[in-house]
Structure 1
Amino acid sequence: MKIRVLVIDDSALIRSLMKEIINSQPDMEMVGAAPDPLVARELIKQLNPDVLTLDVEMPRMDGLNFLEKLMRLRPMPVVMVSSLTERGSDITFRALELGAVDFFNKPKMDISQGMQQYAEEITDKIRAAAKAKVRKGAAQSDFSAVTPRLSADAVLPALSNTITSTEKLIIVGASTGGTEAIKEFLVKLPPDCPGILITQHMPEAFTLSFAQRLDSLCKISVKEAEQGDRVLPGHAYIAPGHSHLLLKRSGANYVCELNQGPPVNRHRPSVDVLFRSAANCAGKNVIGVILTGMGKDGAAGMLEMKRAGAYNFAQDEASCVVFGMPKEAIAAGGVDEVVPLQEMAPKVMKYLASLGSRAFRV
């Protein structure tokens, strides 16, 4: 069975481009297109699609209002099409809060050189949406011939950890559905929790807005990571969308390092790269957390952290939007506890408390 996709966009050029991209895939088809949500409402009834792609700014009804009504009356997988603007990023995060599975950037008509990579991104997100809890999924195709599936070796080597510091750190990785999962995890953490490094698969135009949004909601401070940032207790650092985020030592301190090495598991930033860096220089002082996401990025790195002495948590299947990354990490043997998302922050803090007050020493 092919994934049946309905495209909702007021641009005829975008609808045509999406048709070309979707119908070129052997496992999906564009069954219809609508210029606005009111037309889409009737097509959904007629065509019963598996996945919607939904533009934000459209005539007669904007995408957010339509999404809110849709999720209340007929929940189904939706992937938002967003513009690369500050306003666009704010709207996108609101859409994810309302129940959209994921988002991608609005196609540009002058990207012929990168069309294959762009088409791969779009179709991967449609596949992930089809796998989400709200709708039965379809198998993901292998694009390894298009983009090499490099390991973290391409960015930094694995090292034997010899650090004896007692300062604890929380290291987090997520992908599809991760923006809301990260928010739920962080808002429950106290202001004196250990420093946190986070890799979420996300385009660079959105990571700054994502960090600012979390900062306004959490008791801890949240920022987009910058080169050389000292990792402080009560602070979380989000990997920028243009670079891998690595943990490094600088004397007695932990610091953030940004690296523009090649994509790993087809992602930059990559969870495996962050996890390996934590295994290399923090080892037993790490509490690892892997959340909802498509694919297996983070599975190898989480096992490396565990072997270096870290204690690792994975989100359980029932609370994941897509049980891909946690499932792979569990299967690899790198996970100590499998926990529902709503219990993740309390479980992590309980584990830290069991280590004694030295867990919070700077």
Structure 2
Amino acid sequence: MCAASVLVVDDSPTMRALIRHALKRDPEIVVVGEASNPYEARDKMKELDPDVVTLDVEMPNMNGIEFLKKIMTLRPTPVIMVSNFTAPGAATTLAALEIGAFDCIAKPSAQQGMFESLPNLVKEAAMAKRGMVRRRTGAAVARVAAEPARMRKAGWADLIAIGSSTGGVEALMQVLSEFPADCPPTVIVQHLPAAFTGSFAARLDRASHAKVVEAGGGETLRRGHVYVAPGGARHMIVKPGAQPIIDLYEGETVSGHRPSVDVLFSSVAKNFKGSTCGVILTGMGRDGAQGLLEMRRAGGQTFGQDEETSLVYGMPRVAYEIGAVERQLPLGRVAKKLFSGA
């Protein structure tokens, strides 16, 4: 891959030096600049257009959480929060992930040593950014226009599959809050670090009338249940059978991610024999686009979040451009479309 360019933002010269040293050990990463506060970082982002930003929380003039909001609104870029306040499970960590941070890690103590995981996180984040597509191609428009409309049987789908990434934490909270208690079984891949999907599923469960759980593998798909793929080392798929089940397996990253939305959607298209509905929400990159296209070709309904309501119109854009999205919807209408057809 091309070298991943990084802007390091921290008010401590010592910490910037530690991060720079950790990243420079990887030949596929280039630290293109450093900034000691958000205002300096803003100017350097315009000048250098880095693939990834590492960002502290406590800084002069503006804290990192406020600056993260501005980045995601004005110049969406993968951000890795590096702070004493972003340990797994911390309130600041969850706030950063909701806003759209790619990942969060804690600064090491003297006993912990250097940032061993940071180089790999940076390369994963850079891959996500490079997957973004900016323009709709004429060929894709023609394919969508030429495809004949298909009749749908009345009622809900037998299975709903949802994929999301940057901005998806907040988007899923809104969508799941409108799910009825007897919703069709629903499977979700949201790009999150492994340490956070359990607590995220618990938050969704509190917000939804449906039962939301982190998938453990082997669950029989049940009405009224929503299954969130665990972050980290395994993909989640739907396995066929008289009673379809969820399976988790180790494997290489797909579309830059593990778990991958593409892997989940493809398994639904190939293995689930009932009616299906696929939804792709806000996120950087292109994960889920090809899998959603497979679902559409297999006869499933497919929806994508529109540009106006997406925090990052990357994954939904690519899916729309390749003809995978049957209809684009504002976030506030996704659940209504799933359950009332409106």
- TM interval, shorter chain, is 0.7 to 0.9
Q: Of Structure 1 and Structure 2, which has the larger fraction of its residues in helix?
A: 1
Q: 1:87 is matched with which residue: 86, 89, 93?
A: 89
Deviations 1:305-324 (A, max 9, x none): 11221111111112112222
Aligned counterpart, 2:194: 204
Question: What letter matches 1:208 in structure 2?
Answer: G
Deviations 1:97-155 (A, max 9, x none): 4x34533435775566x775344134446x47xx89xxxx9xxxxxxxxxxxxxxxxxx
Q: 2:40 is matched with which residue: 39, 43, 48?
A: 43
Q: 1:67 is matched with which residue: 57, 65, 68?
A: 65
Determine the C-alpha separation between the residues in 2 that align with 1:262 and 1:25: 19
1:95 Cα shift? 2.5
Determine the C-alpha separation between the residues in 1 that align with 2:126 and 2:260: 20
Question: What letter matches 1:320 in structure 2?
Answer: S
Aligned counterpart, 1:12: 14
Aligned counterpart, 1:245: 236
Aligned counterpart, 1:157: none
| 3-state secondary structure, aligned to 1:318 | coil
Aligned counterpart, 2:253: 263
Aligned counterpart, 2:150: none
Aligned counterpart, 1:280: 270
The structure-2 alpha-carbon separation of the partners of 1:211 and 1:115, relative to structure 1 and needing over 3 Å to count, comes to closer
Answer yes or no: is the 8 Å Cα contact 1:171–1:289 preserved in 2. Answer: yes
**What does 1:99-248 align with in structure 2 at a 5 Å threshold?**
99-106=99-106, 110=114, 117-124=120-127, 127=129, 168-241=158-231, 242-248=233-239
Determine the C-alpha separation between the residues in 2 that align with 1:119 and 1:69: 19
1:254 Cα shift? 2.5
Question: What letter matches 2:120 in structure 1?
Answer: Q
Deviations 1:300-346 (A, max 9, x none): 21121112211111111121122222122222222211111111111
1:44 Cα shift? 5.3
Determine the C-alpha separation between the residues in 2 that align with 1:100 and 1:15: 26
| 3-state secondary structure, aligned to 1:223 | strand
Return 5+ residue gaps in structure 2 as ranges: 135-155
| 3-state secondary structure, aligned to 2:299 | coil
Aligned counterpart, 1:312: 302
Give me the CA root mean square deviation.
3.8
1:41 Cα shift? 5.2
1:294 Cα shift? 1.8
Answer yes or no: is the 8 Å Cα contact 2:171–2:331 preserved in 1. Answer: yes
TM-score normalised to the size of structure 2?
Answer: 0.73
Answer yes or no: is the 8 Å Cα contact 1:4–1:49 preserved in 2. Answer: no
Question: What letter matches 2:40 in structure 1?
Answer: L
Return 5+ residue gaps in structure 1 as ranges: 35-39, 138-165, 354-362
